[in-house]
Amino acid sequence: MDRREKIHNELLNWDNTVRKRKITLSNPVFIKGLALAPLALAATTVKNSFILSVMVILLLTPTRIITSLITRHMSVPLKTFFYPLVSALVFGVAYYGMYKVMGTWALSLGLYLPVLVVDPLIVKNFEKTRKESFLYSIINGLRNTGGFVVACMLLGAIRELLAFGTFAGKKIMAVSLLPMAQHSFGGFLIIGLMSAAWNVGVKAYKDKLEKEAAAYESGVK
């Protein structure tokens, strides 16, 4: 497929293009606004972001797979109860596994980690009436997981650098540029700014494709 055809297909099926690119065009954090509370509260360093990311990796896709297999004929009200139940059970197993591998390091986030159990990032899918295939539940779960991990690690790195002048615990700067970045209100502020920048980037990408498509149509290229 040449560049012209690729651009044409992306623009023609823009909604589908956006849905597939969970890391960039439809990032679950910066575009959809999911998991804001645990990120603003706990993703203050690279270490904390890594712990959150590992939990989401272990929690999101398994929860989605299990619920897609069992809730096919359930009504939405019943799914509302079932999704958090499955999420809690998967979380228990994942939490124990993280503790066995990481030791007390995995427990350092305290109550902020269990908040993920009922976060829309994990349980939002219950409201869909369309049946989700087993394969699609895996693919979409992995896409959302990837999008969250990128956003979480990026946010943790920026907040740690601004608040403490460090990166992954290593001193980078002698001063703290923005001490409030370590607090929840600073976290929400930074997430808001990053989300705005991310949305501008997505719009700029689409505008670029449209300009290229117009250039091809006019015979410039």
Model confidence over 71-129: pLDDT tens digits? 777 777 777 788 889 999 999 999 999 999 998 888 888 888 998 998 989 887 666 65
Average pLDDT in the 183-193 region?
Answer: 96
Measured CA distances, 192 to 23, 27, 30, 199, 205 (Å):
17, 14, 8, 11, 20
93 contacts 59 by C-beta, under 8 angstroms: no
Threshold 0.75, pTM exceeds: yes
Task: Using the CB atoms, write b or e for 116-150: b if 16+ within 10 Å.
Answer: bbebbbbbebbeeeeebeeeebeebbebbbbbbbb
Whether the Cβ atoms of residue 129 and residue 76 lie closer than 8 Å to each other: yes
Of the chain, the percentage scoring pLDDT greater than 70 comes to: 95
- Amino acid at site 105: W
Residue 114 and residue 84 in contact, taking contact as beta carbons nearer than 8 Å: no
What pLDDT sits at residue 124?
A: 76
pLDDT of residue 165: 95
Q: Tell me, what's the pLDDT at 142?
A: 93
Specify whether the CB–CB gap between 87 and 117 falls below 8 A: yes
Q: Domain boundaries in the chain?
A: 3-218
Q: Token digits for 109?
A: 């986030």
pLDDT digits (tens, 9 = 90+) for 7-55: 888 888 999 999 889 999 999 999 999 999 999 999 999 999 999 999 9
Dump the DSSP string for 125-152. Answer: GGG--S---HHHHHHHHHHHHHHHHHHH
Is residue 221 scored above 70 in pLDDT? Answer: no
**192-196 LR contacts (CB < 8 Å, sep 24+):** 194/30, 194/151, 194/154, 194/155, 194/158, 195/29, 195/30, 195/31, 195/33
pLDDT of residue 205: 95
Residue 130 pLDDT: 61
Q: Which residue has the higher pLDDT, 58 or 174?
A: 58
Per-residue pLDDT tens digits for 48-72? 999 999 999 999 999 988 888 887 7
